[in-house]
Amino acid sequence: MMENRILDISSPISASLPVWPGDPALEIVAEMKIADGASANVSRMTMSAHSGTHIDAPLHFFDSGYATDEISLEKLIGEALVIQMDERIPLITEECLQNLKLQVWPRRILFKTVNSTYQNWSRQPFRKDFCALSAGAARFLAEKNVILVGIDYLSIAPFDEPDAVHQILLSAGIVILEGLDLGEISQGLYKLICLPLKIVGIEGAPARAILMDL
C-alpha cells in the first residue's frame, strides 16, 4: 500500500454542481478581467452555504444553535472510518448499522453508498432518490457518541424527510458533512481533515475535506 496518500474527497465547485431545489443557483462571474483591460482578474461568487462539500451546524435547524465557525477543529480533524454500504440499500436504517457488527464505533463516520456509483454526481443535475440516513440510524449514531457523520450526496437525510435526521444529529452536537466525493475511496480507517470556511454566524459552510492514510 502506498503510504501517506492525500485523498481529496471534496466536490469541485463549479456552475455544474447540482443545487438543492429552491436554493440559490451557484454562479461565478468574472467582475474584472485582464483581457478587458483590468489590472487583475477578480471573480464574484454567489452560492448557497450548502453547496458541494459542506458542513451543517446546529443553527441550520435550531435558531438557538451554534454556528459553523463555533465548531471546534478537534471535531473536524482526526480518525474517520469510511464505511462502504451495500449498494442495494436505498436508506441506511438502524438495522443496517447494527448488521455492520462493528466492535467499536469510531467518532467520525463517512458513509460511502450507492450515491458514489452515480457517475460524477457533482456534475449531474440534482436527484431526489439519493441514499441517506433514517431517523433511527441518526439516533443510533448519537448513542454511539459519534461526533461527525458524512455522506456522499448533498444531504444526510432523505429528500422527503429532512427534519428529523438533521435535528437528531445536530442536537447531539454531531457535525454533518455533506456532499462528499468518495468515488475513489475504499472502506477503511483514515485521518480526516475537514476545514470549513471561517464564515461568522452562519449555519452551513463549504469545506475542503481530505483523507490521509494513517
Binding site for Zn ion (CB under 5 A): 50, 56, 178, 204
User: Cβ closer to Zn ion: 48 or 134?
Assistant: 48
DSSP for residue 111: E
Catalytic position from the list 50, 54, 60, 166: 60
Q: 154 near 130, Cβ under 8 Å?
A: yes
SS3 160: coil
| H helix or E strand, kind and range, residue 27 | strand 27-32
Q: Sort residue 213 into left (φ over 0), alpha (ψ -120 to 50) or beta.
A: beta
Specify the residue for cell string 457523520.
149
Q: Which residues are paired to 110 by β-bridges?
A: 82, 150
What is the distance between the terminal CA atoms of the chain, rounded to a whole angstrom? Answer: 11
How wide is the angle at C-alpha 210 spanned by C-alphas 67 and 203, nearest 5°? Answer: 15
Give the shortest CB-50-to-Zn ion separation in angstroms. Answer: 4
Give the shortest CB-55-to-Zn ion separation in angstroms. Answer: 7
User: Cβ closer to Zn ion: 158 or 204?
Assistant: 204
Q: Which residues are paired to 79 by β-bridges?
A: 191
Specify the residue for cell string 478537534.
74
User: Cβ closer to Zn ion: 116 or 155?
Assistant: 155
Closest-CA residue to 149 (of 190, 211, 200, 107): 107
Give the shortest CB-103-to-Zn ion separation in angstroms. Answer: 31
User: Cβ closer to Zn ion: 136 or 196?
Assistant: 196
User: Cβ closer to Zn ion: 178 or 181?
Assistant: 178
166 carries an active-site annotation: no
Give the shortest CB-186-to-Zn ion separation in angstroms. Answer: 26
SS3 78: strand
Closest CB to Zn ion belongs to which residue?
A: 50
Instruction: Enumerate the active-site residues.
Output: 60
